[in-house]
Amino acid sequence: MIKKKYGQHFLINKEICKQITEKLTFKKYNELIEIGPGKGALTKFIDCKNTTLIEIDDDCVKYLKNKFPKFKNKIIQKDFLKLENKYFQNKKIGVIGNFPYNISSQIVFKIIENKKNIFEVVGMFQKELAERICSKEGSKKYGIISVLTQLHYNVEYLFEVDPNQFFPKPKVMSAVIRLQKKEKINYKINEKKIKQILKTSFNQRRKKLKNSLSKINFHLEKENNIFDKRPEQLNLEEFIFLSQNMKNEI
């Protein structure tokens, strides 16, 4: 039975399921987490022995245990968002899933929180969110989630999936993207400062930074050209530059 509260849309095209799992590279990690496996559409194509399934729906958990006995003791019945961050510590993890659309942005932020231990993500998202995550500066879709993801991951927009491939059919298009942890990051990031700059500027995205960030003090002259830009015009390096020159203690 479909449970709307979990945002369930089960992928029913086996070829697409197989195609999604084939996008996993297993580079630099040896453990896989599948978020929201549902009835195991992706699970059946996962070869990684060290795989954990995280599923909140008790009916789906019972089904998975019967259908995939090899994963019987590797199922965690829990909301992924409530999984304690210490679970990821001292691990090298990949993540895959047909993510519930109602919490998929929160899933991305949870992944970013645990970026030290999550090396790759292959996920199905609502197309609009997938585009936001992968968008670059200059795009109207470029925003907080774009910057925070791309600070730590290389992002790839892989392919789109139409509603007819799901049951029940969603009202929107879907898209599969891949995140791969950047091997070398040549910049220091103060997470609190950059999040404050992003939130403050993108919440007033039509304003120039000299207006939206007027209450934040910087080690920069107000005449600096960067303040004549709007947030969607700044690349990653410019947001990092601002955070590194921010005076305010948080």
Q: How many CB atoms lie within 10 A of CB 176?
A: 21
Q: How many residues in the chain?
A: 250
Q: Of 134, 150, 181, at which residue does a domain stop? A: 181
Per-residue model confidence (pLDDT) at position 27: 94
* C-alpha span between 115 and 66 (Å, rounded): 33
Q: Are residues 101 and 200 in the same domain?
A: no
Number of domains the chain is built from: 2
Question: Strand runs (DSSP E) across the chain, as ranges?
Answer: 10-11, 31-35, 51-54, 75-76, 93-98, 118-126, 153-161, 166-167, 174-181
Whether residue 186 lies inside any domain: the answer is: no
Q: 232: which residues sit within 8 A by CB, 6+ positions away?
A: 137, 138, 139, 140, 142, 143, 202, 205
Per-residue model confidence (pLDDT) at position 167: 83
Whether residue 50 lies inside any domain: the answer is: yes
Q: Which helix (H) or strand (E) holds 127?
A: helix 127-134
Q: Are residues 88 and 150 in the same domain?
A: yes
Compute the chain's Rg from CA coordinates: 20
Whether residue 196 lies inside any domain: the answer is: yes
* Whether the predicted pLDDT of 86 surpasses 80: yes
pLDDT tens for 2-60 read: 444 444 578 999 999 999 999 999 999 999 999 999 999 999 999 888 999 999 999 99
Q: Are residues 22 and 73 in the same domain?
A: yes
Q: Are residues 120 and 158 in the same domain?
A: yes
Q: Are residues 173 and 57 in the same domain?
A: yes
Which domain covers residue 237, as residue numbers? Answer: 191-244
Q: Are residues 129 and 9 in the same domain?
A: yes
* C-alpha span between 193 and 96 (Å, rounded): 30
Q: Are residues 144 and 201 in the same domain?
A: no
Q: Are residues 60 and 150 in the same domain?
A: yes
Q: How confident is the model at residue 249 (pLDDT cuts 50, 70, 90)?
A: low
Q: Compute the mean pLDDT over every residue in the chain, rounded to the nearest whole number.
A: 92
Domain of residue 229, CATH code: 1.10.8
Q: Are residues 104 and 168 in the same domain?
A: yes
Whether residue 112 lies inside any domain: the answer is: yes
Whether residue 111 lies inside any domain: the answer is: yes
* C-alpha span between 12 and 43 (Å, rounded): 13
Whether residue 59 lies inside any domain: the answer is: yes
Per-residue model confidence (pLDDT) at position 250: 56
Q: Are residues 52 and 95 in the same domain?
A: yes
Q: Are residues 27 and 70 in the same domain?
A: yes
Contact 200, 212 (CB under 8 A): yes
